[in-house]
Amino acid sequence: MSESSVAGVRGMSVAAAFAGMRSVAPVVFRAGCPDCRGRFELAASALRLAIGASRRSTFYSFTCPDCGAAVRKPAGERIVELLTGGGVRTLRLHSTV
Ligand SMILES: [Zn+2]
């Protein structure tokens, strides 16, 4: 009788491969154009966010890279958080109370 204990454990260190390498993924936002119905990804610099006093006056805008149309869409709370967190230019439309 012969016992064969083969330990086939590979020691791959993933950490070593990423050592000294920062994973700085550029923030891109998916957007769609109502004019040409094109879908594309926009960088944070291509978007602008306007925060108004009410939800109706809070929106984000961008220029369609396909047809050049100025697109304006309402921005909910989640979108506002997403855009501001991604470094999108934010314009606050303050109304004097
Ligand atoms: Zn378009």
Give per-residue pLDDT as tens, 15-74: 555 556 555 567 899 999 999 999 999 999 999 999 998 888 999 999 999 999 999 999
pLDDT value of position 27: 83
* Number of domains observed in the structure of the chain: 1
DSSP E strand boundaries for 9-95: 28-32, 39-43, 47-51, 59-63, 70-74, 89-92
Whether 13 is in a domain gets the answer no
pLDDT grade, residue 13 (50/70/90)?
low
Instruction: Please give the distance, rounded to the nearest whole angstrom, from the Cα atom of residue 43 to the centre of ligand 1.
Output: 16
Instruction: Please give the distance, rounded to the nearest whole angstrom, from the Cα atom of residue 1 to the centre of ligand 1.
Output: 75
Whether 75 is in a domain gets the answer yes
What is the span of the domain harbouring residue 46?
24-92
Whether 87 is in a domain gets the answer yes
Query: Assign residue 57 a region: left if phi > 0, alpha if psi is -120 to 50, beta otherwise?
Result: alpha
Instruction: Please give the distance, rounded to the nearest whole angstrom, from the Cα atom of residue 72 to the centre of ligand 1.
Output: 12
Whether 48 is in a domain gets the answer yes
Whether 12 is in a domain gets the answer no
pLDDT value of position 51: 94
Q: Which of 74, 78, 64 is nearest to 31 (CA)?
A: 64
pLDDT value of position 4: 55
